[in-house]
Homo-oligomer: A and B are copies of this chain.
Amino acid sequence: MKGNSVFKRCYNHCLDRLAQMAPGAGLPSESELAQRLEVSRTTVRAVLAALAERGIVRAAAGRREVLRLPAAADYFPDPQTMSAVASVERRFMDWILQGDFRAGQLLNTAELARQFGTSTTTIREHLAQFQHLGLLERRPNSAWLFKGVTTEFATEIYDVREMFELRATRSFIELPADSGPWQELDAIEADHHALLANMDTDYPRFPRLDERFHHMIHASAQNRFILDFYDTVSTLFHYTYRWNKTDEKQRNTTALLEHLDYIEALRSRDPRAIDARCRKHLRTSRATLLRSIAVGPFRIDAISSPGAQS
């Protein structure tokens, strides 16, 4: 009745650690493992029992040791390590971005539960999430309305995002130059240069770096609503990145360069320059999102009206 994804994820995580140990080596205590893997000792015990069962460790009394190194076949397949909730989120996003749903369509929970192989409870919980993303509308005692990933949606998101990010930069430049966020900025900038130097092979690493940069900026506003908003839309971006692969390397290169300009402006602490660079980057980013939307099937009409971006 409850998935054991925590167990499976922990098991795999454990195998990763064992792979770096020599056979015959002793294992840390249960409590220590629990702390490192960020799960309860109960889960650790279950994992250790499973490892013993598979002959990877031996559960000798008082002392546990590695019997053999784990092979690829020992791992649980990746999809199973996702919690039911995360799994639904991903599949739902894929559906939306692939155009399986159309704007104005009514969704019913039983149907979705069947499609996604979970219960209505889990579906409901997630529909509520998407409601806050502005993609769904709840009709009490009735079905859910899919409002569509339209140009209006993108425009509304970016309007708010621009307000929030500009506000966050104001807080950021107030911070002392030796504070944590500024050190983080140094590290982020270095990573930008490193990525740029190996762009041909490493460009898929950009989204994570992008997320890290903007998250840091938003976090410095010290405002839960600003940060929550960013985190929410950032999962949306995550899925659009995953799905729209056209021109990826070129787009990422452009964004990296814009980030560097933006960072330079932040160092100048000149609000005017910051506003200009930040706005420029967000305009590009918004255009990317709009293009992702336009590329999707059934969506060509969504950008047909000229000037809709204004």
Interface residues of A (CB under 8 A from B): 6, 121, 124-125, 128, 132, 134, 141, 156-157, 159-160, 163-164, 167, 222-226, 228-229
Total copies of this chain within the assembly: 2
CB-contact partner of A134 in B121, B141, B228, under 8 A: B228
Q: How would you classify the secondary structure of chain A's contact residues: helix, strand, loop or mixed?
A: helix
Within the complex, which residue of B121, B156, B163, B224 is in contact with A156, where a contact is CB–CB below 8 Å?
B224
Chain B residues closer than 8 Å to A229, beta-carbon distance: 225
**Please, which residues of chain B bring their CB within 8 A of the CB of A225?**
134, 156-157, 160, 229
Instruction: Kindly list chain B residues whose C-beta atoms are within 8 Å of the C-beta of A134.
Output: 224-225, 228
User: Do the beta carbons of B160 and A223 come within 8 Å of each other?
Assistant: yes
Selected contact of A163 from candidates B121, B157, B163, CB within 8 Å: B163
Given contacts A163-B164, A225-B229, 7 further A-B contacts (CB under 8 A): A6-B141, A124-B125, A125-B128, A132-B132, A156-B222, A159-B223, A163-B167
Report the bound CA distance from A187 to B225 in whole Å. 33
In Å, the complex CA distance between A132 and B228 comes to: 8
Which has the most chain B C-beta neighbours within 10 Å: A125, A141, A225?
A: A225
* Alpha-carbon distance A64/B6, docked complex (angstroms): 61
For the complex, what is the distance from the CA of A150 to the CA of B60, rounded to whole Å? 52
A163: B residues at CB distance < 8 A: 163-164, 167
Which residues from B are CB-within-8-Å of A222?
Answer: 156
Of B128, B156, B167, the residue contacting A223 (CB under 8 A) is: B156
